[in-house]
Structure 1
Amino acid sequence: MKRIEALAALADLTPRHPVVVTCAATSRELASIRDSENHLYLLDAMGLVGSVATGLALSLDPAGPKVVGIEGDGSLLMNPNVLPTGGYFAPGNLLLILLDNGVYGSTGGLPTYASRIDLAALAAAAGWTTRTADTVDGLSAAFAELLGISEPAFLHVRIEGGNARDIPRLLVDPVTIRDRFTRWLREAAA
């Protein structure tokens, strides 16, 4: 499965969820599929999806829709302490989705450590309920299953390397992204 295929499935699965999205190719590809007000693109903030999503989950009504973080393996490996932090604080409304292609997709495909480090096992050891998937159907089924639990959830999705072609840069002002996301959160909570 390609990243853009996984993101298309996630766009269909998350219209009511606050979604925090990692930088670079992942944000650009998701925005090209469906640029929505419920997407908070973390432009130039590699490694921070888990931190932002955990903080957001802790600040929102735990009975509301889960906060969904979409992270890459290279980005998670830059800030792996989000796993024990999320496990310790244990927000039941948090679902972190790891799109693992084994490379830094936006910087020429240099390999990450993900081929030798089991990131799902790290998440499980830190207190997350984990599932894995490597197909669109598997992703959708695991996502639905993890929505039904009341503890931090981690979905490890294996994807192919490479970026989708001809995807435009995401040149929206980060302040505009923040403002529209904040407005969406307020309206969704009302």
Structure 2
Amino acid sequence: MKRIDALRILAEHTAELPVVVTCAASSRELAAVADRPNHLYLLDSMGLAGSVATGIAMALDDTPVPKVIVIEGDGSLLMNPNVLATGGFLRPDKLVMVLLDNAVYGATANLPTYAEDIDLGLLAEASGWTVRRAADPDELHTAMRAVTELAGPVLLHVHLEVGNATNVPKLLEDPVIIGRRFQDWLAAQVTAAAEVLL
């Protein structure tokens, strides 16, 4: 399973959830699969998707929004592994990180990351995260249904084949517009959910 295959599955399971997406190929490929207002693409912000999603999950703690999903890559997580220790310490209940791990930097001719030899799932476990794993489409479907029912922080470690999708256009939208679109969508979700509870 390559990244684009995993992203198609993730798009099926996250249509109604806030999704923070790491930069580069992950953002481009997800936008090509399903460009939605619930996607916050972090363009040119390698290593920050987990931090942003942690803050959003904590801010939504007392709201009816069930989970915040962050789609992260192994190279990006290795830029900021402190997010694992922070998540383990703060324990944001609504945080689910989906780690798409192909053990290479896809934007730099597939140079290997440390994930080639270091199990990032074990690093998350040592930091206090609940960890689940998937390596094929069926396992990923099953794991996505399961992790949204677990108390966070949860890391879903998805092992992928190397390779970027071909003919995927660059994501050239203004980051301010992307951020505003996401903010407006999220505010509408919180308001609608609160009205249902009244």
TM range (shorter): over 0.9
Structure 2 regions of 5+ residues with no counterpart? 192-198
CA drift of 1:61 comes to 3.4
1:129 and 1:61 mapped to 2: Cα distance? 18
The residue number in structure 2 matching 1:32 is 32
Q: Deviations over 1:90-125 (max 9, x none)?
A: 011000000000100012111000011110001011
Shift, 1:163, TM fit: 0.4
Aligned match of 1:141: 142
> Which structure has the greater CA radius of gyration?
2
Matched-pair identity in %: 58
Q: What is the number of equivalent residue pairs in this alignment?
A: 190
Normalising by structure 2, report the TM-score.
Answer: 0.94
Task: Report the RMSD for the aligned CA atoms in angstroms.
Answer: 0.8
Unaligned runs of 5+ in 1: none
CA distance in 1, matches of 2:57, 2:138: 26
Where does residue 195 of structure 2 map in the other structure?
none
With the length of structure 1 as denominator, give the TM-score of the two structures: 0.98
Query: After the TM superposition, which parts of structure 1 deviate over 3 Å for at least 4 consecutive aligned residues?
Result: none
Task: Give the Cα separation in 2 of the matches to 1:59 and 1:107.
Answer: 35
Corresponding position of 1:113: 114
Residue in 2 aligned with 1:126? Answer: 127
Shift of 1:146: 1.1
* 2:171 counterpart SS class: coil
| Separation in 1, partners of 2:108, 2:19 | 24
Q: Which residue of 1 aligns with 2:51?
A: 51
SS, match of residue 17 in structure 1: coil
